[in-house]
Structure 1
């Protein structure tokens, strides 16, 4: 499946194909696992605050890195803008699991179901990102499947961790 088949704009496609988007999904899954003893509301708040803090830290570090790499010639505003744009995937990738957690927090779905659904959705999203990333440079199905499985495995490991820790 290509970005065009998914009706993704080129800008959103670039953001979702970033290491920050994949890292963001893994971060969200990890935060759901560690906060899952509580309610989906507690997980929603924990994940939201954590993603915002990690995004801000990533933007700050990226800005400093760009300034250091250019001996300050890139300029603060341009470095900050570029770093925020690069880190945007972390925020965008966290939206689907946050919506699921919010559905649990507002009692549209049961708490436990929301926590598991958010973890499963993250794993599926990770697999999809792995597939799409390789599909951009390979038409062969084997590398696409391997990439999807490896990328989804990060979410799978966290699901196993939740099952072991909380059951």
Structure 2
């Protein structure tokens, strides 16, 4: 497997995509009077809770006998941590912009909106990578990237509206 494929398969996971949508939705539903630090704290706590729930669910689901092999709770937990890391990775970049806004390095409004925008950019990059992996020409990659980002935006808006 080429280096590109290893990177792509390490990065483009359902957990990273779902985590990107979740962190964007949490940021989107922040109260208008919340400052960036409050949004930062709510986002990090929410993502940690979702990550812990995902680790737990994966560990419970994988504990026992799988494919004729006994998987102990320790191994199932380690597998859950490994499998779920994308949920945590997804919120790193938006959290950086929120903390930059909270500390005054960026204007708070700029930090907030960049934190929201970066999620769609990440989804667009992931879409580009997925189409590139299939060997699609660059125009198809670009359309796939835009489509992925826009679909992610629709999901974030729906999650925010339904919150």
Listed as ranges, the gaps of 5+ residues in structure 1 are none
Q: Which of 72, 76, 87 pairs up with 1:79?
A: 76
Query: How many equivalent pairs are there?
Result: 158
Per-residue deviation, 1:99: 0.4
Segment of structure 1 superposing worse, 47-56 or 145-154:
145-154
2:50 corresponds to which residue? Answer: 54
1:97 corresponds to which residue? Answer: 94
Alpha carbons of 1:62 and 1:149: their partners in 2 closer, same or farther (altered >3 Å)? same
Per-residue deviation, 1:51: 0.5
Length-normalised TM-score, structure 2:
0.83
Counterpart-to-counterpart distance in 1, 2:56 and 2:130: 27
Say yes or no: does 1:107 pair with 2:104. yes
Listed as ranges, the gaps of 5+ residues in structure 2 are none
Counterpart-to-counterpart distance in 1, 2:105 and 2:78: 38
Per-residue deviation, 1:29: 0.6
Counterpart-to-counterpart distance in 1, 2:118 and 2:36: 15
Write out per-residue CA displacement over residues 82-137 of structure 1, whole angstroms, 9 at most, x where no aligned residue.
Answer: 11111111111211100000001111111111110011111111100111122122
Alpha carbons of 1:75 and 1:134: their partners in 2 closer, same or farther (altered >3 Å)? farther
Q: Which of 103, 109, 118 pairs up with 1:121?
A: 118
Alpha carbons of 1:3 and 1:156: their partners in 2 closer, same or farther (altered >3 Å)? farther
Instruction: Supply the RMSD in Å over aligned alpha carbons.
Output: 2.8
Segment of structure 1 superposing worse, 140-149 or 59-68:
140-149
Contact 1:104 1:111 in 2 (8 A): yes
Per-residue deviation, 1:154: 3.8
Per-residue deviation, 1:147: 2.9
Counterpart-to-counterpart distance in 2, 1:114 and 1:155: 20
1:65 corresponds to which residue? Answer: 61
Counterpart-to-counterpart distance in 1, 2:145 and 2:65: 33
Per-residue deviation, 1:36: 4.3
Counterpart-to-counterpart distance in 1, 2:65 and 2:127: 30
Say yes or no: does 1:20 pair with 2:15. yes
Length-normalised TM-score, structure 1:
0.81
